[in-house]
Amino acid sequence: METIKIYFTLFVMSIKARMEYKASFFFYVFAILVFYMGQIGLLFVLLNRFHQIKGWTMGEIAFLYSLQAFTYGFTNLIFSQLIHFDHMVVSGEFDRVLVRPLSPLGQVIFSKFEVSATAHLIMGFSAFYVGSHIADIDWTLKKIFLFPVIVLGAVCIASAIRLMVTAVAFWTLRNQALVHTVIFSTKEFIVYPVSIYNVGIQFFLTFVFPIAFINFYPAHLFLDRSGEHLFHPALVMGTPLVGFMMFTVAIITWRAGINHYQSTGS
């Protein structure tokens, strides 16, 4: 209980620090919204011109996008500090984390919450509403129950990738190039249905770097798309399992990195 209170205090302090400059905060949220509205606008232009993308209609694409937005919104909200973790290693700040009687990962995570991730969640809820309405999704009790489970599994996938990239800093000290390539750039692959890519990329995004489980495969379940299966129909239910497996590997990688860590601070 005392540990939870400490983490909660860190959380509150992080929120207060982030909200100290309210104008800057709201402008940042607005800028993110404009960026993603532009991204969605481009999708709608394409769909208005061609009416569908590889058999996916406007409503289905909007729902696909909402799953991605929810996933990265929650991931950014909780795991945003991992993006700048290499600075903690290089400056020696991580030394102070290790001497405290708390989980090192918990301290790093709770040291900063990216409240502006609410912009991603706003886009997620908007795309979810539009997509569900236009695609006329039949929200059965099974789908209602599975939706938070699927989103949690997807967040575990995105968080695991972020944590593994973060752990690389224990060996290389700097990992910003990897952060931008693996975390930020790759998510553009799943803005569109994975089925538009060739078989090699489909295989890579399914079995090697499985971000297709964030939105593409679970979208088939909610949209009742039974006529399109890239590898096997059972993959539509794979998100929670893939998320659990990847997060387990990420934790093992993080712990191996801590065991390897040698202070570089002065």
Read off the pLDDT of residues 168-196 as tens digits, 9 standing for 90 and up: 888 988 877 888 788 888 888 898 899 88
* pLDDT lower than 50: segments of the chain: none
pLDDT at position 177 is: 80
Instruction: Encode pLDDT of 49-86 as tens digits.
Output: 666 778 888 888 889 989 998 998 889 888 887 888 88
Q: Tell me if residue 87 falls in helix, strand or coil.
A: helix
Helical (H) or strand (E) element with 211: none
Which residue, among 30, 117, 113, has the nearest Cα to 72 in the 3D structure? 117
Q: Tell me if residue 28 falls in helix, strand or coil.
A: helix
pTM of this structure: 0.85
pLDDT at position 126 is: 85
Secondary structure (DSSP) of 136-197: T----HHHHHHHHHHHHHHHHHHHHHHHHHHHTHHHHS--HHHIIIIIIIGGGGGSS-GGGS
Which residues, in sequence order, are CB contacts of 21 under 8 Å at separation 6+? none
Distance separating alpha carbons of residues 203 and 145, to the nearest angstrom = 29
Q: Tell me if residue 56 falls in helix, strand or coil.
A: strand
Distance separating alpha carbons of residues 216 and 129, to the nearest angstrom = 18
pLDDT at position 105 is: 87
Distance separating alpha carbons of residues 160 and 152, to the nearest angstrom = 12
Whole-angstrom CA distances from 250 to 28, 157, 232, 256, 257 are 30, 10, 26, 10, 10
